[in-house]
Homo-oligomer: A and B are copies of this chain.
Amino acid sequence: MDQQQARAWLATAVAEARAGLAEGGIPIGAALYGPDGTLLGRGHNLRVQNDDPSMHAETAAFQAAGRQRTYRGTTMVTTLSPCWYCSGLVRQFGIPRVVIGEAATFHGGHDWLAEHGVEIVLLDAPECVEMMRAFVKDNPALWNEDIGE
């Protein structure tokens, strides 16, 4: 896909991550875009804010998009490589493309998604790496809790 488009969409996910950080939460954000570029849903990790371990950024964006008859042509945009939980979401619902801010601080299931035909656009965005690196350094226990380690 067009890199400029990918970066513009990533900005939505980054804004979500920053909103989560401002709330005292884990700074991971995501957005689900439709085939025509319509924003279907956006969200961020809510483990701390809602005491809800099920709301990762991607699942929050997926929930916010509401019921969709099909995910054909959609793109999941996330600030961080999706964990197995969120990678499973992408695979199950046939989301054909994932734009990822960075996979340097955490390497989730995106190689597995690529093996199963999902287009992966890995941006190596410095703003994502910096935000996540600082958070993990300051909150190692919280981060480990969020990824089940």
Q: Which residues of A contact B (CB under 8 A)?
A: 47, 51-55, 59-60, 62-63, 65-71, 83-89, 91-94, 109, 145, 147-149
Contact = CB atoms under 8 A, between A and B. Distances in A.
A148 to B, nearest CB: 4
Number of copies: 2
Given A71-B148, A94-B148, A88 B66 contact: no
Nearest to A141: B69
B85 A93 contact: yes
B53 A54 contact: no
Contact of A93 (B60, B65, B69, B148): B148
Nearest to A53: B67
Nearest to A66: B51
Q: Which of A60, A85, A149 has the most CB of B within 10 A?
A: A85
Contact of A88 (B54, B71, B88, B149): B88
Contact of A85 (B47, B52, B89): B89
A47 B63 contact: no
